[in-house]
Amino acid sequence: MNTPTRDAAELAAVQPLQPEQRSRWRGFVLPVAALVLWWLLSSLDVVNSALLVSPAKVFGTAADQVASGRLWRALSASLAREATGFLIGTVSGLVLGALLGLSPLFNRIVGPSFNTFKQISLFAWIPLISVWFGLGDVAKVVFLSLAALVPVVVNTCDGIRTAPASLLEVARVYGYTRWQTVTQVVLPAALPSIFTGVYLALIYSWLATIGAEYLLVAGRGIGNTLIEGSEHFQMDLVIFGMFVIGLVGWLMNAAARALERRLARWTGRA
């Protein structure tokens, strides 16, 4: 006679996947299909092998980059620049966004200039940055800081300005001081918007890291790995570098989303 536990286990084994599980696995369909197509095109010599190297050659290049330590040196340099620029841009953006959102006088004085500044393409600053700061790490960090600054300022300011009027009325009824209203009502209500700005800053600064290493080529970094592969016509090195960039970006996105879910639960309990 089957026990209830065994019956439940057998029933779970034959049950179809839930919609969430099916949608999770569907995300692998396109990458697997692209990998199969890539392998077929390279193995059947449909495309010039110099232009489209085989997955096996890319894997060999990856193993060589890892074993020699070149990958870790390049990646650590890129991540150090990204972290520095992200931190500077985010902290500056939080301060500026809070001032714009909380002070009408500061917004009237600085707001129009910032609205003009944010319309300038990020890459339009490259000539000026290269003249003022050269082509080294300082110039790249300045470039990354600009990439992180704008989304944090915009989302912080918008989050503060859109604090629910009902919460502000409750604070007024309870006799909250200006400081208590800001720290206990306005900022907690603005946290989701602020986190969105920080999340965008993280993604933009990583993308800007690769752009800076491409355009300000002095120094080591994963962007310079792509340049090296392109200059020597090593498509396996180029494809490997692109894979690393995408993987790091995906990991950053996953970590930010996990933190966002924890923040949402915390603010819900609060």
d(CA 169, CA 22): 46
d(CA 16, CA 19): 9
Give me the pLDDT at residue 155, please.
Answer: 93
Rounded to two decimals, the pTM is 0.77
Give the pLDDT confidence of 217-261 residue by residue, as tens digits: 767 888 888 888 887 788 888 888 888 998 998 898 888 888 877
d(CA 113, CA 97): 13
Is the Cβ–Cβ distance between 216 and 126 less than 8 Å? Answer: yes
- Name residues whose C-beta falls within 8 Å of residue 223's C-beta, 6 or more positions apart in sequence: 78, 209, 210, 211, 212, 213, 214, 241
- C-beta pairs of 176-181 under 8 Å, 24+ apart in sequence: none
Question: Which residues in the chain come in under a pLDDT of 50?
Answer: 1-2, 5, 8-14
DSSP the chain: ---HHHHHHHHHHHSPPPHHHHHHHHTTHHHHHHHHHHHHHHHTT-S-TTTS--HHHHHHHHHHHHHHTHHHHHHHHHHHHHHHHHHHHHHHHHHHHHHHHH-HHHHHHHHHHHHHHTTS-GGGGHHHHHHHHTTSHHHHHHHHHHHHHHHHHHHHHHHHHT--HHHHHHHHHTT--HHHHIIIIIHHHHHHHHHHHHHHHHHHHHHHHHHHHHHS--S-SHHHHHHHHHHTT-HHHHHHHHHHHHHHHHHHHHHHHHHHHHHHHHHHH-
